[in-house]
Structure 1
């Protein structure tokens, strides 16, 4: 390591650098702040999916094990897109899970294993938190004419989270194997 270079912060979190995007600094700053909170929540949701992927047990183990892993991978893709958009806006993306834990409003699950219905309800609650923030951010980015962030939020983040809610919530429906005559 070179002396004097370790730990030198070149841009503090919350500061904006110049970015010729034809957006005001205020619009870029607001978008970056909103996106960073969604990014933090998405990082936590990703970790919840991985935890439940590892700890799921019971008759639906195989299906949920695969589903939770697939959803974790999809959240990881969204995390990358969100972080890159924050950087594009000239801000600093949340990159440390400890920082994400400070920013998130998603309830922390217990450290141990839970029953499958609790896992599913916890994931659905986390998705609802993310979706609520995404809808608010869509409204704000629309008002600020930040179409790049708006498109990312609508086309990728909202639609992917809504689809995941559908897939996860389907595991709570009590459907008979044979229909009534």
Structure 2
């Protein structure tokens, strides 16, 4: 870390999982530098690294509490990242790609506003966007909606902390997102069927 004039005021050695091995100060004074791995802030009281949603223990390379998104983040509920040298999770969160089926009218409104408005239960309902999309007939049958409401679909990314995975009353696995969804034009894919 450098001062405004470019002189070195702090340097340190960080071990593979973010543990601070040594501080080196250019001046005789102690310089407090709490930044650690991306998104982490050193907590003097606990000795842990704060990640907004949970604490990380650098000496063992794991979080001290379970992932708030449960198993959707992977089988290891305490893992920081699959490989901390090539992958980061600065908030202790991740994004998930979902698919929302809609009618022609809904499709046009969503595309124009770049927003999926919450409906019943002040929520938007979606499924995981993986593999081939369901046909209109299959989506209508599976989700018990009108066939024309399954005509088109929109694939989008969303922070997993906004998503609740559940089985609905019909036994269908779905993702429930509270409130409206602001779409990112870079990561949203609009799919209109004839």
Give the TM bin, normalised by the shorter chain: under 0.3
Question: Which is helix-richer, 1 or 2?
Answer: 1
Please report the TM-score for the alignment, with normalisation by the length of structure 1: 0.24
Please report the TM-score for the alignment, with normalisation by the length of structure 2: 0.23
Bigger Rg over Cα: 2
Question: Which is strand-richer, 1 or 2?
Answer: 2
Q: Which has the higher contact order (CA 8 A, sep 6+)?
A: 1
